Amino acid sequence: MSEPSQHELLEIADALLPGHDLDTARITGGNLHHVVLIPGTAAVRVSRRPSSAREMPRRMAVLREVADAGLPFAVPEPLTPVTWFGPRAAVAVSWVGGREQPEGRGDPDRIGKLLRAVREVTITPRLRRLLHAPRERGWAELLAGQVVPHLPDKWREVCRARLEAARTLEAVPDALVHGDLCGGNVHWGEDGELVGVLDWDQAHLFDPAIDAALMSWHGWDTVRKAVDPATYRRARAYDAPFGVGHLVGVLDGRPLVNVEGFVRSIVDWLERTPATRANL
């Protein structure tokens, strides 16, 4: 699927939100979607590939469930139905104000409250049907069989051992895991209070220590102060094999379609992370 032009993306936004002023709109995006940001009004998400188009209705259903969960912060809510524009799916979601904190900064008490709020969301039968549950599909075995053998020799056995250590952690009840709880997805106000959490595309049911590990964006020392010792220990164990951001790429249910690229990204992370090199 070819990349749409800026004009095409703005046309989609205008079709979904007729009559809204797009003069201040700006375009950004990630791995799954292009996003037309209309400050104060909405964010229009446009699929980048067929898989993200197919998944968009399920992801919007997840957003509705999470938005109804009574969280103490804002969650983007669908403003329009998922609409197809040729091979692309698009939807407008509500605007969430605030802004991200700089990397390496953060208040442990507020981060701890955020992590508790997410993990304590009641898993309704509908939410359970909508979300992937990695324990049911052998997440560690998939990584051991499809990723570890492709790692360079110097990393293969150490990563295999770290993966086994993560796989054999003590079991905890599955909870809602955001799956991308870091950086620009967490918005804070000028007063330092949490405003909202965006982008629940990678949400799944698993150990809430995954979200704690993702909050290492703010620094591992901050995470250590924000959570109990057992959660911190599990967070470090999940991060150790490949980096928790890569791990979530399997936990959220997406198939590994580009193992070679995935491995390259993992090796880059291993090579530039001092703690991983120290254990060689």
The whole-number average pLDDT for the span 181-209 is: 94
What pTM did the predictor assign? 0.94
Q: Where does the chain have alpha helices with state H?
A: 6-16, 50-67, 108-119, 125-130, 139-146, 153-167, 209-214, 220-226, 229-239, 244-251, 259-272, 274-278
DSSP 20: -
| DSSP label at residue 247 | H
Q: What is the pLDDT of residues 129-180, one digit of tens each?
A: 999 998 877 899 999 999 999 999 999 999 999 999 999 999 899 999 999 9
In this model, does residue 266 exceed pLDDT 50? yes
Percentage of residues in the chain having pLDDT higher than 70? 98
Query: Which residue type occupies 46?
Result: V
Question: What is the token pair recorded at 276?
Answer: 């991983």
Instruction: State residue 280's pLDDT score.
Output: 45
The amino acid occupying position 263 is V
Q: How high is the mean pLDDT of the chain?
A: 93
Own/partner long-range contacts of 15-19 (Cβ < 8 Å, ≥24 apart): 15/83, 15/85, 16/44, 16/80, 16/83, 16/90, 16/91, 16/92, 17/41, 17/42, 17/44, 17/79, 17/80, 17/92
Query: Mind listing the pLDDT tens digit for each residue in 238-252?
Result: 999 999 999 998 888
Alpha carbon 240 to chain centroid, angstroms: 18
Domain 6-94 matches domain 108-278 at the CATH topology level: no
Classify domain 6-94 at the CATH topology level: Phosphorylase Kinase; domain 1 (3.30.200)
Q: Check: CB of residue 96 under 8 Å from CB of residue 196.
A: yes
CATH of 108-278, picked from 3.40.50.720, 3.90.1200.10, 3.40.50.300, 3.30.300.30, is 3.90.1200.10
87 vs 46: CA distance, rounded Å:
10
Q: How far apart are CA 187 and CA 74, in angstroms?
A: 9
Answer whether residue 278 shows pLDDT above 70.
no
Token digits for 116?
A: 């508790």
Query: What's the whole-number mean pLDDT along residues 18-32?
Result: 91
Question: Which tens digit of pLDDT belongs to each residue from 53-95?
Answer: 999 999 999 999 999 999 999 999 999 999 999 999 999 999 9
Q: pLDDT tens across 79-137, in order?
A: 999 999 999 999 999 999 999 998 999 999 999 999 999 999 999 999 999 999 988 77
pLDDT of 185 above 50: yes
Asked which of 139-148, 183-192, 218-227, 254-263 is least confident by mean pLDDT, the reply is 254-263
Query: Residue 255 and residue 116: Cα distance in Å, rounded?
Result: 29
Rounded CA-CA distance 23/254 in Å is: 36
Per-residue confidence (pLDDT) for residue 257, from 0 to 100: 81
Map out the domains of the chain as residue ranges.
Answer: 6-94, 108-278
Q: Is the predicted pLDDT of residue 233 greater than 80, yes or no?
A: yes
Which of these, 82, 94, 97, 78, lies nearest to 41 by C-alpha position?
94
Residue 254: predicted pLDDT: 77
Q: Which residues contact residue 214 at a Cβ distance below 8 angstroms, ignoring those fewer than 6 apart?
A: 178, 179, 180, 181, 182, 244, 245, 248
